């Protein structure tokens, strides 16, 4: 059976869904792997690197012969036309709010898997694309903030005088926020952080940062069984805003990462809070693609406010460290695909009762099958 790895059609997507390591392993599972010419170039992987581990270099039309397509982004309608009905397509499908695109995949007859729905259980940790990519995004957010900031981050005591340490506030301490804390600490900043999940408090402390939050009764209940944040009440948000407003005015850099699954990102930083910061301060909004945590943030732009504060709204931040991001992403996909291959026959054998398959399968045999989208499609 054949696997096809295309070059991403979205010009702003530098990542690729296979690495030399995973191609080698996929071949070991019994697959013929065809990689589209140039697919890895933006992640510093050459066609020769793939060929050296047994891949064939092909062109877009080779998708027609593939039983499995490994991608970063959801396939476009044009791409879907080139796929074989029944092919398994594995990618970050971003299906919320994209019902038409989900319906297109059903119509194309492909079995589409949305990697971001992988359950966060021990067995699936190695397949967790949200974590592998958010970790790098959290790191890169601090690097981007440092690049925009016109002062040094660590305290420096020199013969010519002392540079004070930068104060960095991280809002939302999931995977990205925790890595942002660790990175900011490595660069010598004084770091504080906030989250609505009580479990975050200990994690923040263990990284040597200070936790800032309104810790009332609602806060104590703010985590779902799945470990995600709940949308907080208007009252809580108001109390939290008052506390953070006072804190943000004293910060040099604010990095926001707050997300609620399936909902728009919570608005945590108002224009007034941005205006309260000193000229030269920097905000990085990692949630900008999901509506943004910071008022005034614009996707794909660095906005400078009237008072000289920069709001960084880069999109696809993991893609800004594409070579690292692709290696981890490719490994996530490989680990998942491996669970769907019969080791004896060396054929794809998708077990539709497996919990990982059930959680991630969006479309199958012409239908939208995922419970979160099936109703809209019917």
Nearer to ligand NAD, 34 or 124 (CB): 124
- Under the criterion CB under 6 A, does residue 34 sit at the interface with ligand NAD? no
Name the residue among 221, 214, 258 with its Cα closest to residue 236: 214
Under 8 Å between Cβ of 258 and 284: no
**Least distance from ligand NAD to the Cβ atom of residue 223, Å:** 7
- Is residue 196 a contact residue for ligand NAD (CB under 6 A)? yes
Q: Has 125 been annotated as catalytic?
A: yes
Q: How far is the CB of 125 from ligand NAD (least distance, A)?
A: 5
Q: Is 216 a catalytic residue?
A: no
Catalytic one of 10, 77, 120, 233 = 120
Say if residues 348 and 341 touch (Cβ distance below 8 Å): yes
Task: Identify the three-state secondary structure at position 239.
Answer: helix
Q: Which helix (H) or strand (E) holds 71?
A: strand 68-73
Q: Closer to ligand NAD at the Cβ: 91 or 265?
A: 265
- Asked whether position 174 contacts ligand NAD by CB under 6 A, the answer is yes
What is the rounded distance in angstroms from the CA atom of residue 172 to the CA atom of residue 141?
13
Comparing CB distances to ligand NAD, the nearer of 104 and 203 is: 203
Site string for ligand NAD, 245-284 (x = CB under 6 A): ------------xxxxx----x-x----------------
Pairing of strands 347-348, 341-342: antiparallel
Residue with smallest beta-carbon separation from ligand NAD: 174
| Binding flag, residue 154, ligand NAD (CB under 6 A) | no
Closer Cβ to ligand NAD, 109 or 198, answer by number? 198
- DSSP type of residue 223: B
Q: Does 67 participate in catalysis according to the annotation? A: no
Within 149-268, residue ranges assigned H as helices are 175-186, 199-206, 217-220, 234-248
Q: Which two tokens stand for residue 104?
A: 């297109």
Burial class (CB in 10 A: 0-12, 13-18, 19+), 152: middle
- Catalytic residue annotation: 120, 125, 128, 131, 228
Q: Which residues contact ligand NAD by CB under 6 A?
A: 120, 125, 128, 130-131, 134, 171-177, 194-197, 200, 227-229, 232, 257-261, 266, 268
């Amino acid at each position: 059976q054949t696997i096809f790895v295309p070059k991403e059609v979205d010009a702003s997507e530098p990542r690729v869904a296979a690495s030399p390591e995973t191609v080698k392993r996929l071949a070991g599972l019994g697959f013929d792997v065809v990689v589209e010419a140039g697919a890895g170039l933006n992640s510093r992987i050459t066609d020769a690197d793939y060929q050296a581990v047994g891949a064939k270099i092909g062109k877009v039309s080779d998708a027609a012969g593939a039983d499995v397509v490994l991608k970063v982004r959801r396939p476009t309608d044009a791409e879907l036309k080139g796929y074989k009905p029944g092919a398994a397509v594995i990618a970050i499908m971003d299906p919320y709010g994209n019902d038409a695109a989900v319906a297109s995949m059903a119509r194309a007859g492909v079995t589409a898997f949305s990697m971001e729905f992988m359950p966060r259980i021990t067995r699936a940790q190695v397949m967790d694309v949200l974590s592998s990519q958010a970790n790098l995004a959290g790191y890169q957010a601090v690097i981007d903030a440092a690049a925009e900031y016109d002062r040094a981050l660590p305290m420096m005591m020199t013969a010519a005088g002392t540079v004070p340490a930068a104060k960095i506030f991280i809002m939302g301490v999931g995977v990205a926020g925790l890595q942002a804390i660790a990175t900011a600490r490595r660069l010598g900043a004084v770091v504080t952080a906030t989250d609505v999940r009580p479990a975050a408090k200990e994690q923040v402390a263990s990284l040597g940062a200070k936790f800032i939050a309104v810790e009332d009764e609602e806060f104590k209940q703010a985590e779902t069984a799945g470990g995600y944040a709940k949308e907080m009440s208007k009252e809580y948000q108001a109390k939290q805003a008052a506390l953070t407003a006072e804190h943000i005015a004293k910060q040099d850099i604010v990095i926001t990462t707050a997300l609620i699954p399936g909902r728009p990102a919570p608005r945590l930083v108002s224009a007034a809070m941005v205006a309260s910061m000193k000229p030269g301060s920097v905000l990085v909004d990692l949630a900008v693609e999901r509506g943004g945590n910071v008022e005034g943030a614009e996707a794909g732009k660095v906005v400078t406010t009237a008072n000289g504060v920069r709001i960084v709204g880069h999109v696809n931040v993991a893609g800004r460290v594409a070579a690292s991001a692709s290696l981890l992403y490719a490994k996530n996909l490989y680990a998942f695909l491996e669970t769907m291959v019969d080791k004896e026959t060396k054929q794809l054998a998708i077990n539709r009762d497996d919990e990982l398959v059930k959680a991630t399968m969006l479309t199958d045999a012409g239908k939208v099958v995922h419970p979160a989208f099936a109703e809209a499609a019917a």
